[in-house]
Chain A
């Protein structure tokens, strides 16, 4: 196996063009090294991109653009992110433990395409788009089109995910990420739920976005629940209906962390809690 250290974006793209599917991108290594040590992957080359400084930038003109190499700890502690993307900031604090947060990157979390990716639901409710670069040029696509299946993405073998751009939280809106785990840290989500709501003057919901992780093969938006929240007031019946729609729309599995039945059962309560929390914050 060859170890290729890319110091610039161009160098990384050249390595990718050279190695294609046999090249494995390495940033923080929190997923790649584990899989490599377990012999789950045996790439011809490891392409180390951690030193490409421009990919660690965050810009906040209009949409928020976040370089793929921003770490979870970095995102959790960034004031602009906290103001514009509070749900993502809290999700970043809940990924793994402090050590993995310190080196694990946003781009890695997305490209790993785990069904349980904590950052994905807050990104999805912020209308995240990813930019993929290759020697052939750049393309930009919505995050929900990027996730194809469990650990499968739309990234082509010669492409590097360079940035993610997001819609910041609008005025009169609030968002929240609720992670259901067993322990206080270092847990893979049994279920994760992000909700972003805008409230109108009369207290009804003007815009609603709901996204989940650990409840389907990929993290995903749940339009069925969004539709029932839109125009509704945050009251028991409406929330219960949206909760039922959410529970009905997802496709959880039984695994060693929890049963599908439990995952479905907690969703209405979690959605009500998240929506009420958004409602309170949006009114402040």
Chain B
């Protein structure tokens, strides 16, 4: 192989480095106007009056729209609960209430300030606990009328968006048999995706069709959701994608597209919208804050007889794709470890806060945080070495998850533990550390080590690719798959086509997404692009190859079986002077049977499972699993409470690394984001409002805060994947919070069961320990 496994350069790399690449926010078209949203200034309240007359009369203003002026029905991905504009009541701070169209963004902004609104503020429902407490005010009084996708019953009730439950019925009995019960509560905050390019849209309405230019991870979802919101046929909408300045899940659902489309139709002019950076941050679909409670029934020998898991997530004011996230506990618990039987309850609550949504590794980081903190807790209670206890409890090949699906290759996880051990030998210093506690108050760093394991999936949703052989022998891949920065499209798909056709990836170009041109693709989510869109490219290129050989066989008067393709040349094996370039073959085909073009599609078939075992799931299998072990060593400053990551080692199974550099980039990036979540970033909520209002206090980690990440890529080629590739981009974020919290807890000798692990939280834990010891 030449193209696959090579560190081929990204086709968009040079343009991005040189500043030539045109991102969504850079777009401009003739006659374009600019729109901005007027957003709710409070977290909850009744709207008494909106007066837009002064804004309408403001300089350069073309249109002002609020909910009363347009069709404003509720819509959504999973639950149809979200209006374009709040009309009667405000459900969160930042909720759109009106929009202003003006000649420039500045004039639109100036007009926004002239919108008058009277609000009767009400006390916000600020937390899921509050939302689910008896007698709580309803965030949405009309919740019972909300439709759902496919009419699925997610178990909604009042402020409960979704309740997913799996109960085999034998859990209580197991607890009665237990020698020991260990329980813990693990809580995690929101995390903002912190991509560079704010959400944008540029819409035109012409000849009865909407065209919306976007920088979006999932153009076909924009098409489908616009059709839903605007109540027009999907075929009346065209979505054209451009370079994306990052998304990490925040650009998977509608952002500004529907507003731009509505305003384009009303004004007859192209409408461009871009959020301001702070506006983006305060209204983005963050990873949801969550509280996980786990109770384990144990035998003295460490056998887990049963687990009882309760997960409560914060949906924010609307559901987004929340019920999908609420399904994930069914795969994160009772999956890689033998836990006997398990009862899992997953609940998602409406609150008066910005709606949460998809973020790299949806739900995974906090579910694994809870699971793996709990494993440490059990090991500590049993006096067992934490790594040894994991190995003793780890399940083996064929182990069935809660949905009845077998993890056929779980032994890869055992191998991952071994590879990490070979790189960074485990030394559980917990006991020694505790003895050092009180002598270390004047500065000596406390050291700790942590380890955690996880299984992650590769999103199975469909993708189609068309592969065209041009008459000069070049290849064009037509796809709606998007590259939000990973290189999955700009290197991966090109390498797969190049390998299949025996030419250099330099000869392969790939289109930007356009829903009028390319077949359906489910977008950049769940590490699916290389595996699913890559498989479609592989199948389409295989058909191109077949037709090349068929055409060349006729031209060379040779048998197809005797032909080979190398470096873009079709040769007859063993006959050196019998050859044709791919261009010659393509030219001949074009002017005889027609151009050599092929289209193929792929969707990962659902693995065998038992649909009766889980209820209310938005998706109920865990396709194309990958396996992960992380280890971290940390130093804690006992004076300030600051945590420094001294060493970070990963063994990650990827099927096959099509482009090792690109995979490494994703692995390191995921850890960086995970460390930000665990140690630095803050999106605290008080009274329904974010406390940190901008990036200055947000605390994204910097390059200088990053440890060296030592990555071991494990290759176990997956037969269904293109050249064996599975998903690789998302999962390195999943175990980070767990492994760091385990290491910090080990260092200080006190449990850290919530993140972010701020210096203050570390000092609190250290001081509670001192009081515990002296008292």
Interface residues of A (CB under 8 A from B): 180, 182-188, 236, 256-259, 261-262, 265-266, 269-270, 272-273, 276
Contact = CB atoms under 8 A, between A and B. Distances in A.
A265 B641 CA distance: 10
29 contacts: A180-B640, A180-B759, A182-B642, A182-B680, A183-B701, A184-B702, A184-B704, A184-B705, A236-B442, A256-B682, A256-B691, A256-B693, A256-B697, A257-B697, A258-B760, A262-B641, A262-B759, A265-B763, A266-B641, A266-B759, A269-B442, A269-B443, A269-B638, A269-B639, A269-B640, A270-B639, A270-B640, A272-B639, A273-B442
Contacts of B441: 269
Interface in B730-775: 758-760, 763, 767
Given A186-B702, A262-B760, 15 more contacts: A182-B642, A182-B699, A183-B701, A183-B702, A183-B705, A184-B702, A184-B705, A236-B442, A256-B692, A259-B760, A266-B639, A266-B763, A269-B443, A276-B442, A276-B443
Interface in B604-648: 638-642
A185 B704 contact: yes
Contacts, number: 59
B145 interface: no
B692 A262 contact: no
A262 B759 CA distance: 9
A10 B705 CA distance: 45
A259 B701 CA distance: 20
Contacts of B680: 182-183
Contacts of A272: 442-443, 639
A272 B440 CA distance: 13
A77 to B, nearest CB: 18
A259 B705 CA distance: 22
Contacts of B69: none
B691 A273 contact: no
Secondary structure call for the A interface: mixed
B557 interface: no
A140 to B, nearest CB: 35
Interface in B650-703: 680, 682, 691-693, 696-697, 699, 701-702
Contacts of A257: 697
A101 to B, nearest CB: 14
Contacts of B763: 262, 265-266
Interface of B: 441-443, 638-642, 680, 682, 691-693, 696-697, 699, 701-702, 704-705, 758-760, 763, 767
Nearest to B682: A256
User: Sorted from nearest, which 6 A-B pairs have the closest CB atoms?
Assistant: A269-B639, A184-B704, A256-B697, A262-B760, A184-B705, A256-B692
B701 to A, nearest CB: 6
B443 A273 contact: yes
A37 to B, nearest CB: 12
Contacts of A187: 699
Nearest to A178: B640
Nearest to B760: A262
A66 B642 CA distance: 34
A62 B73 CA distance: 77
Nearest to B767: A265
Contacts of B691: 256
A35 to B, nearest CB: 13
A245 to B, nearest CB: 17
A97 B693 CA distance: 20
Nearest to B697: A256
A32 B112 CA distance: 26
A261 B761 CA distance: 12
B458 to A, nearest CB: 34
A58 B760 CA distance: 40
A273 B701 contact: no
Given A183-B705, A262-B763, A188 B696 contact: yes
A112 B767 CA distance: 37
Nearest to B680: A182
B702 A185 contact: yes
B93 to A, nearest CB: 16
A183 B639 contact: no
A193 B638 CA distance: 17
Nearest to A190: B759
Contacts of B697: 256-257
A273 B705 CA distance: 22
Q: Which of A180, A256, A265, A272 has the most CB of B within 10 A?
A: A256
Contacts of B759: 180, 182, 258, 262, 266
B771 to A, nearest CB: 13
Nearest to A262: B760
A183 B698 CA distance: 11
Nearest to B701: A183
B660 to A, nearest CB: 29
A182 B700 CA distance: 10
A21 B697 CA distance: 31
A270 B680 CA distance: 21
A218 to B, nearest CB: 20
Q: Which of A185, A187, A265 has the most CB of B within 10 A?
A: A265
Contact of B640 (A183, A186, A188, A266): A266
Contacts of A182: 642, 680, 699, 758-759
A5 B680 CA distance: 42
Contacts of B758: 182
Q: Which of A182, A185, A258, A272 has the most CB of B within 10 A?
A: A182
A270 B639 CA distance: 7
A70 B40 CA distance: 45
A257 B641 CA distance: 14
A273 B699 CA distance: 25
B750 to A, nearest CB: 16
A261 B759 CA distance: 12
A52 B641 CA distance: 44
Contacts of A261: 760
Contacts of B705: 183-184
Nearest to A257: B697
A268 B702 CA distance: 29
A86 to B, nearest CB: 20
B639 A273 contact: yes
A184 B676 CA distance: 13
Contacts of B682: 256
A266 B442 CA distance: 11
A187 B640 CA distance: 16
Contacts of B640: 180, 266, 269-270
B758 to A, nearest CB: 8
Contacts of A188: 696
Q: Which of B640, B691, B693 has the most CB of A within 10 A?
A: B640
Contacts of B692: 256
Nearest to A180: B640
Nearest to A187: B699
A280 B443 CA distance: 14
Contacts of A269: 441-443, 638-640
B319 to A, nearest CB: 29
